[in-house]
């Protein structure tokens, strides 16, 4: 089960967030922004405090009730996927989301890069992707 | 493979540090320096200058910060992540671990606010139980029940050397080396 999706731009700003199912506490939009900023900072630090050289930032955060998977694109945009610990094939889902993002956001001439994403097409396709079995 | 371990007290001070497989070439250089935490700057005053000098002489390759700075960063990361998880997860504590491409950080917090952190390679299963054992079987036995160690903790100023009484350091070392994932 996918709880929510967040997209963080390369500066640490939250450009998209969507909750798909109950299970996490509801936050105010301000708290979501703080959360995105915190994660962005922590992501940068985790690569610094690696005991072995050459580590990336945080890729998966594990808790009792959920997991946060993070995928960073080459351009620095981060996709955060909050999912059930038992959720299978996260990599596939992540890839699919990135694909949808490229198709309906990056290729959209009316979308300013690094700005919040308001695109109905993007919403619809993301939701459709959640419902179809992999 | 287990890389290193930190213990932080409630006052966000790193009271214990131990490393095992942290850059094989750097390790010998480290040993000649003795306990890395023993080189704590005693005066808070010239903090800026001490950090820059330690950066220059730090034997660890690829790392350009002192152990003290690194401890602060590690504390900051686990503290932020714990709060983030608490916020998202309906006020329940539940942070277990995080993974990057090269390492995995395991976290265990006691009810008294002591934070145990251990780094391993990314393929290791959860070490939270092991950290719990280190707390209950080694820390409680050798530090909490040790009157000398307790005295230094309650006085506010935690001295890593008195706290990490040799017995504790040896106990942790023996325990971690006995784990199946220690060397693999």
Please report the DSSP string for A64-123 in residue order.
SS-EEEEEE-TTS-EEEEEE-TT---HHHHHHHHHHHHIIIIIT-TTPPTTS----HHHH
Q: Which residues of chain A make contact with B63, given a CB cutoff of 8 A?
A: 53
Grade residue B161 by pLDDT with cuts at 50, 70 and 90: low
Q: What confidence tens digit (pLDDT) does each residue in A90-118 have? A: 899 999 999 999 999 999 998 888 899 98
Query: Containing domain of residue A81, as a range?
Result: 2-131
- Picking from B100, B110, B92, the residue whose alpha carbon sits closest to that of residue B8 is B110
Q: Which residues of chain A make contact with B126, given a CB cutoff of 8 A?
A: 62
Q: Are B141 and B84 in contact (CB under 8 A)?
A: no
Q: What confidence tens digit (pLDDT) does each residue in B89-144 have? A: 887 788 999 999 999 999 999 998 899 999 999 998 889 999 999 999 988 888 88
Cα gap B24→A99, rounded to integer Å:
41
Helix (H, G, I), strand (E, B) or coil at B5: strand
Return the sign of the alpha-carbon dihedral for residues B163, B165, B171, B174: positive
Percent of chain B with pLDDT over 70: 68
Task: Tell me whether residue B80 is exposed, middle or buried, using C-beta atoms within 10 angstroms of its C-beta: 0 to 12, 13 to 18, 19 or more.
Answer: middle
Return the sign of the alpha-carbon dihedral for residues B167, B168, B169, B170: positive
- Choose, out of A49, A53, A57, the residue to mutate when testing the contact with B (most B CBs < 10 Å): A49
Which spans in B44-139 are helix H? 47-57, 67-88, 128-133
* C-alpha A132: how far from chain center: 19
Which residue in chain B has the smallest CA separation from A3?
B88
Q: What confidence tens digit (pLDDT) does each residue in A46-103 have? A: 998 888 888 889 999 999 999 999 999 999 999 999 999 988 888 999 999 999 999 9
Domain at A43, CATH number: 3.30.450.70
Are A49 and B62 inside 8 Å of each other by CB?
no
- pLDDT for B32 equals 37
Sheet containing strand B14-19, strands side by side: A14-19, A2-8, A78-83, A67-72, A60-63, B95-99, B104-109, B115-120, B2-8, B14-19
Are A35 and B76 inside 8 Å of each other by CB?
no
pTM higher than 0.90 for the full model? no
> How many domains does chain A fold into?
1
Q: Are A67 and B95 in contact (CB under 8 A)?
A: no
Cα gap B178→A1, rounded to integer Å:
37
**Polymer length in residues for chain A:** 134
The CATH topology of domain B2-38+57-178 is Beta-Lactamase (3.30.450)
Domain ranges of chain B: 2-38+57-178
Q: What confidence tens digit (pLDDT) does each residue in B26-51 have? A: 433 344 344 444 444 443 333 333 33
pLDDT at A132 over 50: yes
């Amino acid at each position: 089960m996918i709880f929510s999706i967040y997209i963080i731009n390369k500066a640490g700003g939250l450009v998209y967030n969507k909750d798909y199912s109950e299970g996490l506490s509801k936050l105010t939009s301000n708290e979501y922004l703080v959360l995105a900023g915190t994660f962005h900072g922590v992501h940068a630090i985790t690569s610094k405090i690696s005991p072995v050289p050459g580590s990336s930032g945080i890729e998966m955060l594990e808790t009792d009730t959920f997991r946060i998977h993070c995928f960073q694109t080459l351009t620095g945009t981060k996709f955060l996927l909050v999912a059930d610990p038992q959720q299978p094939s996260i990599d596939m889902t992540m890839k699919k989301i990135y694909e949808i993002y490229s198709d309906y956001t990056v290729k959209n001439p009316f979308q300013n890069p690094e700005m919040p994403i308001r695109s109905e097409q993007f919403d619809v396709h993301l939701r459709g992707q959640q419902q179809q079995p992999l | 493979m287990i890389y290193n371990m930190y213990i932080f007290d409630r006052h966000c001070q790193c009271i214990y540090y131990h490393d095992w497989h942290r850059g094989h070439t750097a390790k010998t250089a480290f040993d000649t320096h003795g306990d890395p935490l023993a080189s704590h700057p005693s005066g808070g005053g010239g903090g800026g200058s001490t950090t820059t000098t330690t950066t220059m002489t730090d034997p660890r390759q690829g790392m350009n910060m002192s152990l003290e700075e690194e401890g602060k960063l590690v504390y900051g990361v686990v503290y932020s992540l714990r709060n983030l998880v608490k916020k998202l997860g309906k006020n329940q504590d539940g942070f277990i671990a995080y993974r990057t491409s090269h390492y995995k950080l395991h976290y265990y917090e006691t009810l008294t606010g002591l934070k145990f952190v251990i780094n391993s390679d990314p393929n290791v299963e959860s070490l939270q139980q092991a950290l719990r054992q280190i707390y209950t079987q080694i820390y409680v036995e050798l530090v909490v029940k040790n009157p000398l160690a307790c005295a230094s903790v309650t006085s506010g100023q935690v001295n890593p050397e008195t706290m990490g009484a040799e017995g504790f350091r040896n106990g942790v070392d023996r325990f971690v080396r006995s784990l199946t994932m220690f060397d693999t």
